Structure 1
Amino acid sequence: MGEDEVAALLARLHAAQNDFYGGGGDAALREVLSPDVSWHVPGDNAIAGHYEGIEAVLAYFAERRDLAGRTFRMRPGDLLTGRGEWAASFTDGEAVLGGRRVRWSTVGLYRLSGGRVAECRLLPLDPEAFDAVWAGPAAGIRAAPTGPEAATIALASALSAFRVRPRHCDAQGMVYAGRYHEFFEDAFLDWLEEYAGGYARLRDEGVDMVIVASACDHRRPARLGDPLTVEARPERGGRTSLTMAFTVRGPAGPVAEGRITYVAVGREGAAIGLPDALAAVVRAEDRGR
């Protein structure tokens, strides 16, 4: 298959998957998958396994859909093709699991045959983080609800995941205390991207979010190589201010908890009302409590 044909086929696959994961039917998937398709998912998690045949693969898709309460979405990125029957697609995923919005990245290696997808081998870029995301109900992850409750949960938080790097650590290989405030700020930027159009959009509108108070409580040390997640969620809002709460979790549980209060500042350097996008999130949070 030519590069354009491969791109079109995988675009059809990803569109059909997103429709199915959102609650749609499986007709489009049956058109794009070979009857004897196989799917290989690595790791120690609730969805790992080797699925042979279209019915088994569709059952696997349904399991992911149900675990995520129909909030799972795929965001395909770069596509690599060659002269053979294999193609690689870099894809980001996100879902609401256990009341938190989580993200991960994978490479899907697809074998194409007869104008359909005949095989996929999923390769998470961070296997440990992928296992944590899809740990399943036994690890405390419950399927996300649908309807109004799902909307409240989606607004409640965003989750950023990363691994502790040498630059984060002191000479003992533990995360330096001051780094947690950087983690909070990075998580806030991710939260803004998710719910307010991003920091750049606020700046274009002449608004900056200035820190006026911050605090961090340390629970246990995080060490070099640990996979960490940072949950960011709005705690309260005023006419000009927004207080965000942060929880950093590691392999053994909560590592640190923080709280930062921001004030919206205009081009003249004076406090102004919260931008409409942020005010709408605060109102939705207040209704959900």
Structure 2
Amino acid sequence: MSQIDIAKNYIRAAQSGDQALLASLISPDVVWHQPGKNRFSGTHRGMPAVGAMLGGMMEVSGGTFTISRADHFMENADWVAINIEFKAKRGGAELEQAGVDLLRIENGRIVEVRLFSSDQALEDAFWGT
């Protein structure tokens, strides 16, 4: 499976909530860099920490947090960049913006994730501290 195929499967699994597929694609020792200055920001190491962060995002958003669009998958050695759009609702607030997910893939598994948001201040305000 190519790096691009792994990245596309990751997006499909994230969009559908397929936890088994995500577990097969993401290294148990993944290093996840969540941008910004909000309650979920920082470097999360290992699937238990990443799972807790993503679960928290789903809880805060009432299950509405989703990747609504993913396209332009670009590969450079062991990195894949993906143009995305993500959405979430929280109370009366809505978050919808573009971003880039950068995945480092080794031996068929995602070992590092770096995320970029087009309006980090807006995202920080949405998630809160």
Shift of 1:53: 0.8
Match of 1:53 in 2: 46
Match of 1:113 among 95, 106, 117: 106
- State the secondary structure of the residue aligned to 1:105: strand
Match of 1:76 in 2: 70
Moved over 6 A (4+): none
1:104/1:129 contact within 8 Å kept:
no
User: Whole-Å Cα distance in 2 between the matches of residues 96 and 42 of structure 1?
Assistant: 19
Q: Which residue of 1 aligns with 2:37?
A: 44
Equivalent residue number for residue 62 of structure 1 = 55
1:127 aligns with 2:106: no
Deviation for aligned residue 1:28: 1.8
User: Is it true that 1:9 corresponds to 2:6 in the alignment?
Assistant: yes
**Cα displacement (A) at 1:32:** 0.8
Q: Deviations over 1:203-238 (max 9, x none)?
A: xxxxxxxxxxxxxxxxxxxxxxxxxxxxxxxxxxxx
Give me the CA root mean square deviation. Answer: 1.7
Tell me the equivalent position of 1:202: none
Q: For 2:74 and 2:123, how far apart are their aligned partners in 1? A: 22
Structure 2 partner of 1:86: 79
TM-score, structure 2 as length reference: 0.89
Query: How far 1:38 sits from its partner (Å)?
Result: 1.0
Instruction: State the shift of 1:103 in Å.
Output: 0.2
RCO greater where, 1 or 2, for CA within 8 Å and sep 6 or more?
A: 2
Q: For structure 2, which runs of at least 5 residues remain unmatched after alignment?
A: none
**Equivalent residues of 1:94, 1:101 under 8 A apart:** yes
Letter in 2 for 1:102: L
Deviations 1:153-190 (A, max 9, x none): xxxxxxxxxxxxxxxxxxxxxxxxxxxxxxxxxxxxxx
Instruction: Give how far 1:17 is off.
Output: 1.5
Distance in 1 (CA, whole Å) between partners of 2:4 and 2:79 is 12
Higher strand share: 2
List aligned pairs for 1:154-173, cutoff 5 A: none
Q: CA deviation at 1:100?
A: 3.3
The structure 1 residue matched to 2:16, chosen from 19, 30, 33, is 19
Tell whether the 8 Å contact from 2:95 to 2:123 is kept in structure 1 after alignment. no
Offset of 1:116 from its aligned partner?
1.1
Q: What is the count of residue pairs matched by the alignment?
A: 128
**Ranges in structure 1 where 5+ consecutive residues have no aligned partner:** 137-289
